[in-house]
Amino acid sequence: MNRIFVSLLLIFFSFCYSQDSVTERAASFNIEDHLALEGYDPVSYFEGEKPVKGSKQYSANYKGVVYRFCDEESKNKFLLNPTKYEPAYGGWCAYAMGAKAKKVSVDPETFKIIDGKLNLFYNSFFNNTLKSWNKDEQNLKEKAAENWLKF
């Protein structure tokens, strides 16, 4: 009897812990209403010159973050390897993460694939941070990786 009770208790606490970690993870991402990349298809960044808006019809929730896709094929590619397609730094501006350790919103059409990861950048009011990033990419990339661990 005690073994069953202890087993049920462990299952309950592991479920609660995993739900908390999913919620915590989603809270660190640049999302609105649980939707990442402002609805752009994460796979499209890797397969074309410009990202493509996804459709509500082709949505997937990965660890508390909802992604939209342009078709079933893109959705399936993502689900086979979500870490390949998820944006670096939770979808926040890579430059701001590296230069200032800050979460700054992005223009989802201003991006760069670096070492196989999607990096997004702020681009508004004559301030395209991708240009600044390109001037000191190696240094900023190292700092961004360190800074992201704080979040």
Query: What are residue 31's DSSP bridge partners?
Result: 36
CA distance 29 to 55: 20
What's the predicted TM-score (pTM) here? Answer: 0.84
Q: How confident is the model over 117-147, as pLDDT tens digits?
A: 999 999 998 999 999 999 999 999 999 999 9
User: What are the domain boundaries of the chain?
Assistant: 30-86, 87-151
List b or e across 27-62, with b for residues whose CB sees 16 or more CB atoms inside 10 angstroms.
ebbbbeeebbbbbbbbbbbbeeeebbebeeebebeb
Q: How confident is the model over 22-51, as pLDDT tens digits?
A: 777 888 999 987 799 999 999 999 998 999
For 83, counting Cβ atoms within 10 Å of its Cβ (0-12 exposed, 13-18 middle, 19+ buried), the class is exposed
DSSP string, 45-80: HHHSSS--B-EEEEEEEETTEEEEESSHHHHHHHHH
Q: Is the pLDDT of residue 1 over 60?
A: no
Mean pLDDT of 84-105: 98
Mean pLDDT of 64-75: 97
pLDDT bracket for residue 8 (50, 70, 90): very low
CA distance 74 to 58: 9
- Rounded to 5°, the CA angle 125-105-90 comes to 150
Mean pLDDT of 109-115: 98
